């Protein structure tokens, strides 16, 4: 009996030992540490436009902040965008502070580079070829928008797309390129009085052709004053001024006598006051005039005349057409005897000088010689359907 009892006790002890050393199953409560999702920061590739923005995106986490360049993070934290324009031909390096899927902070760096221009073109605004546009100034109803580039533009469509003209009241308009550096914009009809005009040229980052980019963006604005349109009639020898559609002044005048002659270089010049809508370009209290100013220096030529200081001069063409005082002209209101200008009495010329604005319109009628588009602001000599084509 004693031996059997020992055997049973041994068996029980062995079973208890086996139970205490059993390996845990997969369903046990042993803790395993979670792993964060992979996080990836993506930056722009290639050379990007300095107009911006440069954009960083993140997968697998959120952007908390970016240092090295000003910018903003979108509300969902997946995108960062740079603020403002960037510099040309520059490499930017930024550091992004990210939160991974478990909330831990991760830092990653990124870099991107902006385009390298072949050349840069500046922008200015002109009232005409003789005067800059005055920002905030007041101009006449014939004043076109004029944008001048400092270098020749190859891609005119790209340049036009970069120019925005906003008007109140709103009007449609068209572009007209004088040459590869100067572009005009005008509505179908003369501006309505009181119109406000704002012009924006956003060429930073814009390829204007052959690697030429805009140097800086530019804006200007101006206002159209009262409507003033003068009509100078070669047949009646009267110049009538209409303000807001009403006759404001009726003036006796003497316009160009007509005819041609050749100057020293063999070029042929004429002496008509050219027909068509002219736009006032400038005003000068005194201007020295002589036939030599347009190349006629032979005193034996019947069209020759000595230099003379002329008073109250309002210019309407680059070739030298003015409304001005001509106290020597005894044919005012009777015959056309000038060399191409609109001769007026001193009182009338002074009134014009005082009341006309740059951009006002002087329409010459019944003259056989039309005003070329290039001679001053001949924009309005072209029908709107053909303007810019």
Catalytic residues: 324, 341
SS3 category, 155: coil
Sheet holding 218-224, edge to edge: 138-139, 218-224, 196-201, 163-168
Going from the C-alpha of 91 to that of each of 25, 41, 49, 96, 260, the distances in angstroms are 57, 18, 12, 16, 63
Q: Where would I find the H helices in the chain?
A: 2-20, 156-162, 346-355
**Phi and psi at residue 10, to the nearest 5°:** -65, -40
Going from the C-alpha of 49 to that of each of 38, 72, 153, 230, the distances in angstroms are 30, 18, 18, 49
List, in sequence order, every residue forming a beta bridge with 287; answer none if it has no partner.
Answer: 310
* Residue 340 and residue 259 in contact, taking contact as beta carbons nearer than 8 Å: no
Interior angle at CA 105, CA 100 and CA 106, nearest 5 = 80
* Residue 184 and residue 173 in contact, taking contact as beta carbons nearer than 8 Å: no
97 C-beta neighbours (distance < 10 Å), count: 14
Nearest to 195 by CA among 126, 128, 131, 140: 140
Burial label for 245, CB within 10 Å (0-12, 13-18, 19+), is exposed
Going from the C-alpha of 387 to that of each of 143, 166, 185, the distances in angstroms are 15, 19, 9
Size of the chain, expressed as the number of residues it contains: 389
**Phi and psi at residue 8, to the nearest 5°:** -65, -40
Nearest to 251 by CA among 145, 122, 345: 345
């Amino acid at each position: 009996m004693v031996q059997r009892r020992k055997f049973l006790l041994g068996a029980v002890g062995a079973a208890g030992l086996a139970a205490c050393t059993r390996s845990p199953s997969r369903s046990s409560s042993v803790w395993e540490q979670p792993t964060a999702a992979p996080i990836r920061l993506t930056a722009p590739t290639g050379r990007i436009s300095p107009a911006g923005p440069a954009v960083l995106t993140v997968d697998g986490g959120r952007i908390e902040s970016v240092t090295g360049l000003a910018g903003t993070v979108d509300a969902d934290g997946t995108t960062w965008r740079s603020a403002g324009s960037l510099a040309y031909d520059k490499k930017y390096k930024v550091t992004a502070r990210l939160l991974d899927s478990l909330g831990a902070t991760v830092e990653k760096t990124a870099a991107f580079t902006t385009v390298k221009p072949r050349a840069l073109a500046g922008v200015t605004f002109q009232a005409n070829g003789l005067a800059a546009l005055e920002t905030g100034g007041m101009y006449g109803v014939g004043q076109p928008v004029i944008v001048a580039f400092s270098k020749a533009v190859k891609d005119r469509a790209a340049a036009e797309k970069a120019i925005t003209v906003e008007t109140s009241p709103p009007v449609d308009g068209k572009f007209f390129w004088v040459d590869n550096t100067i572009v005009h914009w005008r509505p179908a009809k003369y501006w309505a009085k009181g119109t406000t005009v704002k012009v924006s040229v956003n060429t930073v980052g814009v390829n204007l052709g052959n690697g030429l980019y805009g140097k800086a963006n530019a804006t200007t604005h101006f206002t159209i004053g009262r409507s003033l349109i003068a009509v100078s009639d070669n047949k009646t020898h009267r110049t009538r001024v209409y303000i807001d559609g009403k006759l404001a002044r009726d003036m006796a005048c003497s316009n160009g006598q007509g005819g041609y002659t050749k100057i020293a270089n063999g070029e042929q010049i004429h002496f008509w006051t050219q027909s068509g809508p002219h736009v006032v370009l400038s005003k000068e209290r005194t201007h020295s005039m002589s036939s030599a100013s347009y190349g006629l220096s032979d005193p034996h030529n019947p069209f020759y005349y000595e230099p003379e200081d002329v008073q109250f001069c309002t210019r309407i063409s680059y070739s030298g057409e003015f409304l001005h005082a001509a106290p020597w002209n005894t044919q005012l209101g009777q015959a056309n005897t000038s060399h191409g200008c609109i001769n007026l009495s001193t009182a009338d010329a002074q009134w014009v000088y005082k009341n006309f604005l740059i951009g006002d319109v002087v329409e010459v009628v019944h003259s056989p010689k039309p005003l070329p588009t290039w001679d001053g602001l001949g924009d309005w000599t072209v029908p709107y359907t053909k303007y810019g084509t």
